[in-house]
Amino acid sequence: MNLLDARRYVAPFMKAERDFWNESIKPIIGDALGFSDGDIPADVKNAYGILRGDTKNAVAALAAIPDLFDVLESCFVNVSGKASFSQTQFNEMVKTMPVEDILTPRDNLADSVKEFIEALGFKISDRGTGLCEWDMGVVCTETDARRLCTEVHKKFEVAISQKLLLISKYPQDPPRVPGLINWGDLDEWLKENPL
C-alpha cells in the first residue's frame, strides 16, 4: 500500500463525516465557532461521533501497515523555550498586536529555532507564546521526527544543556494522511479523484 492507496481508503470516511456535518450540524449552528455542544441534539451528536470514530479508526488501521510507517504523519515534535520578555512587554503585546503576531514566538532563540526547523524543510503547524515560554510544533513521520529531534539537539546543544530549550516527541493522534488532513484537502482531492 502507498500514499495514494491510503488516500483512497480514508477519503470515503472523511467524506461521510464532512457530509453529515454539513447536512445535520451546520444547519443547527451555522458558521458559529463558539457554539455549545448543548446546541446539538444528542442523537445528532452521537451519530457524528460515530462517523468521526470511523475516520479515526480507518487512519489508525492505515498506521499499522508497515509500508505506511514512513508515509503517515504519526509524530508531533514540540520545541519549547523560555520567553525573554517581561510581564509589561507581554501585556502591551496583547493590547496592540494582532493575535497571529502574538502567537508567533518573539525572541532570538525562538527565531533561530524557527528558521532552523524551516531550513530543514519542516512546516511548523502549531505555535504559541506566553509570558514565560514559547513553543512550536511539527507533525511528521517517525523518521522525520527522529531527524528533526537529532538535528535540533545537535544545533542547540548549549541551549538545551542550560534548560533554555526543551524538545518533546509525542504520538500524533490520530496520525495524518498527507494531502488529506482536513475537509479542504478532501474537497481538492475529490476534484481529481471522485468516489
pTM of the model: 0.75
CA 193 to each of CA 3, 7, 9, 40: distance values in angstroms, whole numbers, following the listed order: 14, 10, 12, 32
Report the C-alpha gap between 164 and 158 in whole angstroms.
Answer: 9
- Running DSSP on this structure, what letter comes out for residue 180? B
Tens of pLDDT, residues 103-160: 554 557 888 999 999 999 999 988 877 666 889 999 999 999 999 999 999 999 998 9
Identify residue 98 by its one-letter amino acid code: P
Tens of pLDDT, residues 24-63: 998 888 776 666 777 788 999 999 999 999 999 999 999 9
Location of C-alpha cell 545537535: 154
